[in-house]
Chain A
Amino acid sequence: MKRIVSLNINGKPVEDAIADNLLLIEYLRETRRLTGTKQGCDGGECGACTVLINGRPRLACITLASTCDGAKIETIEGQGEGGRLSALQRAFHENLGTQCGFCTPGMIMASEGLLRQNPDPDDAEIKAALGGNICRCTGYVKIIKSVRAAAQQSAGAA
């Protein structure tokens, strides 16, 4: 069955007829062509599909799109403004928090969720928030550094 679902995706209100069994990741990638959100596992095991739903990090690969009716969805494509990078995107870029880049969108979105709740996290808090996001390239050292750098930059800007 399909139903009309209203969503706000990266600041843009949209309405779509969505099949009941459609996963949010399928909706984002296939219907909306927002392929920044990645599928890295067979369901809920790697964090690559992390997006923000109403400001909180969630796994798009185990979320039904039609349960998000009325929700505000943010993906990697909606970060930054006017073509400029967000603080986290810049920090991941400049500190090599990304290598192959496949975990990066999920990692940045999970970090974004963290920094909105806790603008100045320590390493333990970063680890607790990003523990469900697997990266296979970096050993996480430069990811942690990137999140810290973004937090510092945001603090400096504020």
Chain B
Amino acid sequence: MTKPRHFHVAGTPVPLVDGLEKVTGRARYTADLTTDDALVGRILRAPRGHARIIRIDTSRAKALEGVRAVVTGADCAQSYGVIPIAMNEYPMARDVLRYRGEPLAAVAAIDAKTAQAALDLIELTLEDLPAVYTAKEARAPDAVQLHPDKQGNLEREVHHSFGDPEAGMAKADLVRDEVFSCAEVNHAQMEPHAALADYDPERGHLTFHSVSQVPFYVHLTLARCLGMEAAQIRVVQPFIGGGFGARTETLNFEIITALLARAAGGKVMMHLTREESFLTHRGRPQTDVALKIGMTDKGKITAVKCEVVMAGGAYAGYGLVTILYAGALLHGIYDIENVKYDGYRVYTNLPPCGAMRGHGTVDVRHAFECLLDRMAHELGLDPFAVRRANLLRAPTFTPNDLMVNSYGLGACLDKVETASNWYNRKGKLPPGRGLGMACSHYVSGAAKPVHWTGEPHAVVSMKLDFDASITVLTGAADIGQGSSTIVAVAAADILSVDMSRIRVIAGDSALTPKDNGSYSSRVTFMVGNAAIEAARALRQKLVLAAAKKLESLPEDIVCEGETFSVKGSAQSMLSFQEVALAALAEEGTITVKGTFTTPIKAQGGKHRGGAVGSTMGFSYGAQVVEVTVDIATGLIRIDKVWAALDCGFAINPLAVEGQIEGSVWMGMGQALSEETRFVNGLAVHANLLDYRVPTMVESPDIEVHIVETIDPLGPFGAKEAGEGALSGFPPALVNAVADAIGLEANFLPMTPDRVLEALIKQRRAAKRKVAS
């Protein structure tokens, strides 16, 4: 049986290259790895929100039969953190614990029951300190200080001003300001955290499997915290059950598992519960956005002032990047000359925040798109018109030096306006129903990685051997987004071979080239480009071999559909295998590599923090959300979403659709029902009942429109597709609710209780107005 063969796969829908494993249950995730000989790891977590650690007595635990290792903060004095200048975390707390749930000690034992029993035998002597749970408490003049070097609990403040914001405001016909408050959210990826560490004391080698999106950073951090040479460590990435940013930095349990394995001299399997996975956190922080916009009566924005306060939890993590992103991505979507940004990242006694899909931009974009809509309304302008009045013209650089080479926002607006029949339906729906829209954008990879080494941003290797198969080696972490598929498609397309000829090996430090990891939507752009370059290098070798064999010039060789021929003469045609063997005859097994390095001009402005937000290209999105609001119960139903995204070029349209649907929907979760909640610093949301990830029942149909602007630097012209649509949903929803029932909400999520309370307040205010 012969299958139809497609050679130009870029741009056609392709199922995931590892999809068969996923639908058959053969895919092995970290927790699925065979563990007959593994010890069970368990972590003792802080019962208090802020306390001095007087003593941790592990003697009874160590003495328990079946216990093979016990470690505490005393076993690792090396701090870590994803940002080299902000490493202020230890895998287990030393001296002071700073949030409820922080690891204090850990045990490896022969089984789970023994491990738990050992944890129960560890004696803690703690001295409670005052704790601060909100940014306001943390910033109070007399607040307890979490870190000795951080006055006022300020992890980082940012003050950026571009153009002349004062003069811009003075030119405005309408100036409005509002404060928006957005709750903290968590990634809630379906796979709970897990790690498997195998330490060979004879060789002094550590083999490490984990759920990470950033195996390379994990590798570096393990070397640092265990005081090992990186060469003695191998990090392998099994199947990963989602990430969304939760695993974009090395996590405490990963280091702890490795410490346990070394202490026990063997293999340790660590499964975190769902509760522990929530406590490990690294989600999007609670964020208050005070936003002021000046606008002409035609809707042109004259100036923006924005103050952002983020409650970031107990440790730095990605915090300073998050607070910088929030300001930087005020730019790059609209043409705004005058922008003032003040950002404050604050420490609190809660689980540390981190990067989450749409890193840093979501809550600020929310505020921006809501206020824009309200000002449009006040000026009698259509929401689409006010966006169109502020479009950029590519290519350009923004006032903060972000490079914009391709820009499809206008086309996105056209698509969703038409698809939703906006003009005929907006303002004309029955009571309780409404339409709202918003725009959004996101980077296609940070132009400067957090670990700046000067190396290329991505490397892909390819091997062609006697069997005429092509093995692609990439360090890119496929976390479900389909990065391995993109790499395969790029290789197949450039080499004009069938996908079945290509195998992708990903994520094993012993085999694959280093990759920075799957975050900031960098993989398709950077790894995709590197894969294309590698494939071109291989193709060139094949073309040379074919030219030699066909006694022709390389530039006259046509490589098409696994055949090589001389341009204009089809009679002497060589098969791929023939050419492959001819090429191998020259030099044996062929290995090539491709790299990608971001151009200097893409790397952002010279101002402090100017690298954050810089990228090779932005995705642009517009979406329309239709809602029905039940004013008696406050419940909001999403009837339909129309989402358009400019992803440059859809290398795999099936995956692009999937990414857009998933990110719109994740934005819906944040907008409607998801939030972390704490009682005296104790997480009460740390399960999938109270952390309300939307179910299929209330999830709407999402109609996706792909806009292609063919970015000059993108692989095949592609940009990112997995994050940009997220931040459009929450403001489109709030704007739709305003359209439906006239409620202008300044909070997220729009839970029924908050909606009802706001409606009651609104009615009271209206009554007072009538009375006075």
Contact = CB atoms under 8 A, between A and B. Distances in A.
Direct A–B contact present (CB less than 8 angstroms):
yes
Interface of A: 29, 33-42, 45-46, 48, 75-77, 79-80, 85, 89-90, 92-96, 98-105, 108, 126-128, 130-144
B661 A142 contact: yes
A68 to B, nearest CB: 19
Given A134-B693, A141-B702, A102 B24 contact: no
Nearest to B703: A141
Nearest to A129: B696
Given A96-B657, A98-B23, 7 more contacts: A42-B687, A77-B25, A96-B655, A131-B696, A134-B695, A135-B696, A138-B658
A41 B689 CA distance: 10
29 contacts: A35-B25, A38-B190, A39-B31, A40-B190, A85-B24, A96-B16, A96-B654, A98-B16, A98-B23, A99-B482, A101-B19, A101-B23, A101-B241, A101-B480, A102-B29, A102-B191, A102-B241, A102-B242, A128-B697, A132-B695, A135-B696, A137-B190, A137-B242, A137-B658, A137-B662, A139-B668, A140-B699, A142-B657, A142-B658
Nearest to B482: A99
B696 A140 contact: yes
A143 B689 CA distance: 22
A134 B190 contact: yes
B665 interface: yes
A129 to B, nearest CB: 9
Contact of A140 (B240, B480, B665): B665
A42 B275 contact: yes
A6 B630 CA distance: 52
Contacts of B31: 35, 39
A35 B661 CA distance: 28
B118 to A, nearest CB: 20
Nearest to B31: A39
A80 B24 contact: yes
B743 interface: no
B189 interface: yes
B664 A139 contact: yes
A94 B701 CA distance: 19
B661 A138 contact: yes
Interface in B344-366: none
B687 A99 contact: no
B24 A89 contact: yes
B661 A141 contact: yes
> What are the nearest 5 A-B pairs in CB distance?
A36-B25, A100-B480, A139-B665, A101-B22, A102-B241
A144 B699 CA distance: 11
Contacts of A89: 23-24
Contacts of B239: 100-101
Contacts of A90: 23
B576 to A, nearest CB: 26
Interface in B241-294: 241-244, 273-275
A36 B658 contact: no
B19 A98 contact: yes
B229 interface: no
B23 A92 contact: yes
B449 interface: no
Given A36-B25, A93-B19, A103-B190, A139 B699 contact: yes
Nearest to B699: A140
B608 interface: no
Given A35-B32, A100-B240, A100-B241, A46 B24 contact: no
B124 interface: no
Nearest to B659: A99
Interface string B1-38: 00000000000000110111111111111011010000
B192 interface: yes
Contacts of A48: 190
Interface in B677-728: 687-689, 693, 695-697, 699, 701-702
Q: Which among B25, B240, B482 has the greatest number of chain A C-beta atoms within 10 A? A: B25
B688 A104 contact: no
B602 to A, nearest CB: 29
Contacts of B666: 136, 139
B696 A100 contact: no
A99 B19 CA distance: 8
Contacts of A141: 661, 665, 699, 701-702
B696 A133 contact: yes
Nearest to A75: B25
B26 A36 contact: yes
B126 to A, nearest CB: 26
A127 B658 contact: no
B671 interface: no
B28 A35 contact: yes
Given A100-B480, A139-B662, A144-B696, A41 B654 contact: no
A42 B273 contact: yes
B687 A45 contact: yes
Contacts of A80: 24
A69 to B, nearest CB: 24
B479 interface: yes
B275 A46 contact: no
